[in-house]
Amino acid sequence: MGDRAQSDVLLAAHVSVRYGEKPAVLRDVEFEIRRGEVVGLVGQSGSGKSTLAMAILGLLDRKSARAEGAIEFDGCNLLRLRERDLRALRGGKIALVLQSPLSSLNPALRIRTQLKEAWRAHASGSGSDCASAIRAAIESVSLPSSEEFLQKYPSHMSVGQAQRVLIAMAVMHRPALLIADEATSALDVITQSEILALFRRLNRSSGMAILYISHDLASVAGICDRIAILHEGQIVETGTTEQVLLSPTHEYTQRLMAAMPKMPQRLATGKAAAV
């Protein structure tokens, strides 16, 4: 049973990060992500959420940042990999979706061109192979694979469509782990709900694990299996979504819950049923 549980762990981190001689941004942060699960990383601005994402991806500036410890992904320590090996992982086995889609996409390139570049970064084959991969990726995020849409520039799309394009690029190579860093915070409430449902559908259909980074407890409650609360560079509480949000034990988590204007429906329903 222990061996099986260990094999289910996709990523296990125990890491500290500091910039120069400044106090550590992350201090002995320890958490894990199992294969196929959605884990929420919650914390206010400046708590170290994005620093942790950049450490996983090997995107910290190694001249100014020092990461110590280990980030074990699928059996290898990411902190010990060379840049060439990290580039092979990024976009392939580990993908990233950021907050601002219109800033992340190249405004001078058509959507088809950007999808082609994403495919060629980690695959090779004929033009028809590429076209098939693009069509499958774009349809997986409920966008039209028509020539008219693929010829658009990012500025010709809504923010929600642009975010779906980014997600299509991220999942094109069926990554084992998708990191969504504040991926819905720039969206209106309706579009945010649609993107959350899309993440959950992709998670269930492909078995892709997701690290969902956000300061928004309502969205975290709606999508995550487990939650880790990050406060001032440390994980102060972790557990299932219901455990952490319905019965918080740490004072900071209790303050977060007290600041919520309304209990998320999923949790409110579960709480009523439990009573």
Q: Tell me, what's the pLDDT at 98?
A: 87
Q: Tell me, what's the pLDDT at 215?
A: 86
Q: Tell me, what's the pLDDT at 53?
A: 94
Task: Residue 223: give the domain boundaries.
Answer: 2-274
d(Cα 7, Cα 75) in Å, to the nearest integer? 9
Q: Tell me, what's the pLDDT at 272?
A: 36
Contact 185/99 with Cβ under 8 angstroms?
Answer: yes
Q: Tell me, what's the pLDDT at 259?
A: 82
Q: Tell me, what's the pLDDT at 261?
A: 67
The total number of structural domains in the chain stands at 1
Q: What predicted TM-score, i.e. pTM, was given to this entire model? A: 0.90
Here the CATH number for the domain that contains residue 203 is 3.40.50.300
Q: Tell me, what's the pLDDT at 274?
A: 35
Q: Tell me, what's the pLDDT at 271?
A: 46
Q: Tell me, what's the pLDDT at 4?
A: 41
Which stretches of the chain drop beneath a pLDDT of 50?
1-4, 271-275
